[in-house]
């Protein structure tokens, strides 16, 4: 296959009769809500029921061969547009999985225009840190549709191709516009120097960085980080402190078995090293609780965002009570507990309880969800959860069984954040009509 150059012109629609060809045209616009971050001046015609059905039928045909489709897609993308390869990490296994899951979520939302716009806007803003440019989107669309056509075989009719083309063009237009609007208000990445590296035992390090310029965020948010040892391999870590006057941020990083980034940060990183930070993400913030008392559940390094939220509460003079449950497998892994107990001594509104699940000690034994059930009731509280996905899921179920509405249970996405971020508003409008 011959090498093709990338264009920086607006994303053109693909030719539905030939998914490997493009033609010049005006960039499509889609009217988005203010919450999407991608407002536009002209609305693109929504997909009709027939087009939605065709898109989902096409996915059903190729889904059994999803692995082959993604391998083929990246193969032809890198062959036709070699310059795009520099945007991707050396290890493509994770990237192939994320492409498939992103595509599946777009298809899931294809008949929900408002949330489709929200999701594509999130993707567009997030892709800035990878160096994605407007001219990359036609290349990706061309190769994606070519891969789908190849594996759909005779099922890939001109009508199905046209429906997929329309869906991709709309999604790409939102992503491009969201990225453009985001570029006007903040950089794609922040370079930050490591200014503190403190081992906390059990494969955990407390790492403090100072960005080259102010990094605005809200206590409770998380940040994607790239290290010099694994370029383009971004990992998400929660900030463990409320915003500081010196703009430093502290992260609690656990070395995950086989984790190339986490192990580098815990065992290799040193003061003076430079990392890159993507923009802050997440909506697990103190303001979400309004005037309710809080129940917070932190497992392992999940203490980081909870700690930041409690610091923020102390700074703002909170007038509510907070029950904090901290858990780990063993007593030795209960890092940060002493800091939380000292905070509780300074602030009467904070109560701290700890539990371990895999060791017999004096005190409470059992998993955090089990211990949580012993106290309460929590039905009038706002809940903040962070830790291993199984723990968060179990704790959330326990709280809901105890009468806490789902919209008052806050936690970060349990997997790849940009692919799993909740899109629709989580607050019950009946609870506060002003919202």
- Residue pair 322/378 in contact (Cβ under 8 Å)? The answer is no
Number of Cα atoms under 13 Å in the Cβ half of residue 78: 12
* pLDDT at 421 (0 to 100): 52
Residues sharing a CB contact under 8 Å with residue 75, sequence separation 6 or more, in sequence order: none
Number of Cα atoms under 13 Å in the Cβ half of residue 381: 24
Q: What letter does residue 127 receive in the DSSP assignment?
A: G
* pLDDT at 26 (0 to 100): 29
Token pair, residue 219, equals 């206590």
pLDDT in tens, the chain (435 residues): 444 444 333 333 444 334 334 333 322 233 333 333 344 333 457 889 999 999 999 989 998 998 899 899 999 999 999 988 888 877 777 777 777 778 778 888 888 888 889 889 988 998 899 888 898 889 999 999 999 999 999 999 999 999 999 999 999 999 999 999 999 999 999 999 999 999 988 899 999 999 999 999 999 999 999 999 998 889 999 999 999 999 999 999 999 998 989 999 999 999 999 999 999 988 888 888 778 999 999 988 899 999 999 999 999 888 889 999 998 777 777 778 889 999 999 999 999 998 887 556 555 656 777 788 888 799 999 999 998 888 899 899 999 999 999 999 999 876 544 444 554 444 443 333 332
- Residue pair 328/334 in contact (Cβ under 8 Å)? The answer is yes
* pLDDT at 43 (0 to 100): 46
Query: 325: closest CA among 285, 374, 359, 279?
Result: 374
- Around Cβ 83, how many Cβ atoms within 10 Å? 14
Token pair, residue 367, equals 């998993």
- Provide the angle, in degrees to the nearest 10, between the axes of the packed helices 136-152 and 66-80: 140
Compute CA distances 405 → 292, 315, 377, 397, whole Å.
13, 28, 13, 10
DSSP 364-410: EES-HHHHHHTS---TTSEEEEESSHHHHHHHHHHHHHTT--GGGEE
Cα gap 380→249, rounded to integer Å = 32
Element (H, E) at 164: helix 158-183
Residue 275, beta-bridge partner list: 192
* Rounded (to 5) percent helix, strand, coil in the chain: 45, 20, 40
Cα gap 337→82, rounded to integer Å = 50
Residue 274, beta-bridge partner list: 193
Cα gap 432→427, rounded to integer Å = 9
Cα gap 41→125, rounded to integer Å = 19
């Amino acid at each position: 296959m011959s090498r093709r150059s990338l264009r920086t012109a607006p994303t053109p629609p693909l030719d539905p009769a030939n998914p490997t060809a493009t033609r010049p045209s005006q960039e499509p616009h889609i009217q988005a809500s203010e919450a999407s971050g991608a407002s536009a001046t002209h609305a693109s015609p929504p997909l009709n029921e027939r087009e939605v059905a065709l898109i989902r039928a096409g996915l059903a045909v190729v889904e059994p061969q999803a692995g082959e489709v993604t391998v083929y897609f990246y193969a032809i993308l890198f062959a036709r547009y070699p310059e795009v390869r520099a945007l991707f990490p050396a290890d493509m296994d994770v990237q192939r999985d994320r492409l498939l899951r992103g595509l599946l979520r777009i298809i899931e939302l294809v008949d929900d225009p408002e949330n489709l716009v929200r999701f594509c806007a999130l993707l567009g803003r997030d892709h800035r840190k990878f160096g994605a440019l407007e001219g990359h989107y036609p290349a990706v669309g061309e190769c994606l549709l070519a891969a789908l056509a190849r594996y759909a075989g005779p099922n890939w009719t001109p009508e199905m191709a046209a429906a997929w083309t329309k869906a991709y063009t709309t999604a790409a237009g939102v992503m491009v516009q969201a990225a453009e609007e985001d570029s006007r208000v903040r950089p794609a990445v922040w370079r930050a120097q490591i200014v503190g590296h403190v081992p906390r035992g059990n494969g955990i390090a407390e790492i403090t960085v100072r960005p080259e310029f102010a990094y605005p965020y809200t206590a409770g948010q998380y940040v994607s980080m790239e290290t010099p040892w694994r370029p383009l391999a971004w990992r998400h870590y929660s900030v463990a402190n409320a915003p500081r006057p010196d703009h430093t941020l502290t992260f609690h990083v656990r070395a995950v078995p086989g984790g190339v980034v986490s192990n580098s940060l815990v065992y290799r990183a040193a003061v003076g090293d430079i990392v890159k930070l993507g923009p802050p993400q997440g909506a697990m913030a103190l303001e979400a609780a309004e005037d309710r008392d809080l129940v917070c559940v932190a497992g392992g390094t999940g203490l980081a965002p909870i700690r930041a939220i409690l610091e923020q509460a102390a700074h703002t003079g909170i007038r509510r009570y907070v029950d904090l449950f901290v858990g780990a497998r063993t007593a030795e892994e209960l890092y940060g507990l002493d800091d939380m107990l000292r905070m509780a001594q300074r602030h009467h509104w904070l109560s701290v309880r700890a539990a371990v699940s895999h060791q017999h000690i004096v005190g409470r034994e059992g998993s955090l969800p089990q211990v949580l059930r012993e106290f309460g009731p929590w039905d009038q509280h706002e809940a903040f959860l962070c830790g291993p996905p199984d723990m968060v899921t179990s704790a959330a179920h326990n709280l809901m069984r105890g009468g806490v509405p789902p919209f008052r249970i806050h936690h970060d996405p349990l997997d790849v954040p940009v692919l799993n971020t909740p899109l629709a508003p989580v607050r019950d409008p009946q609870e506060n009509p002003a919202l």
